[in-house]
Amino acid sequence: MISHRAYMATIDQFELKDKVTAFVARAKELAAGGLTVGEFAELAVSLMRVATATLDSIPVEGPLKKQWVLDAVGMLFDAVADKCVPTLAWPLWLILRPAIRQLVLLAAGGAVESLLPLVRRAAQ
């Protein structure tokens, strides 16, 4: 699984910023040869789990935590989403990229709410 290899880059990190940076850097390396939409989704969910687990122990209001998770997903999108697009679709991608990024963030925003109980259950 591609997400496991990216996740392993976060093991030695303790702060959210460092975890996200390490995850995205490893994801960029893994996506160098191309990426499927399914692999991107797997990476996004894995990053959201890492960020949610890290933020769960921080005493900050929920909306701020959610925004930090969405910022992390936005960083991942900006770093590797282009690797999902075939060369022939590149002109269309340039036009649709902002809308697709917003759609990914909206989906991630909905998923964050369902990930929290899973992350808490896994931590027990």
In this structure, of 26-35, 51-60, 101-110, the range with the lowest mean pLDDT score is 51-60
- pLDDT higher than 90, residue 3: no
The SS3 call for residue 60 is coil
What is the CB neighbour count within 10 angstroms for residue 81? 20
Confidence at 112, pLDDT banded by 50, 70, 90:
confident
- What is the per-residue pLDDT for 47? 92
Burial-class residue 109 by CB neighbours within 10 Å (0-12, 13-18, 19+): middle
Look up residue 89 and give its DSSP letter.
G
- For residue 115, what pLDDT is reported? 75
pTM as predicted: 0.85
Give me the chain's average pLDDT, please. 86
| Closest C-alpha to 92, from 100, 24, 78, 2 | 100
pLDDT at 120: 66
How many distinct structural domains can be found in the chain? 1
Judged against a pLDDT cut of 80, whether residue 108 lies above it is answered with yes
pLDDT tens digits, one per residue of 32-77: 989 999 999 999 999 998 888 888 777 777 788 889 999 999 999 9
Number of other CB atoms surrounding residue 3 within 10 Å? 21
Range of the domain at 97: 2-123
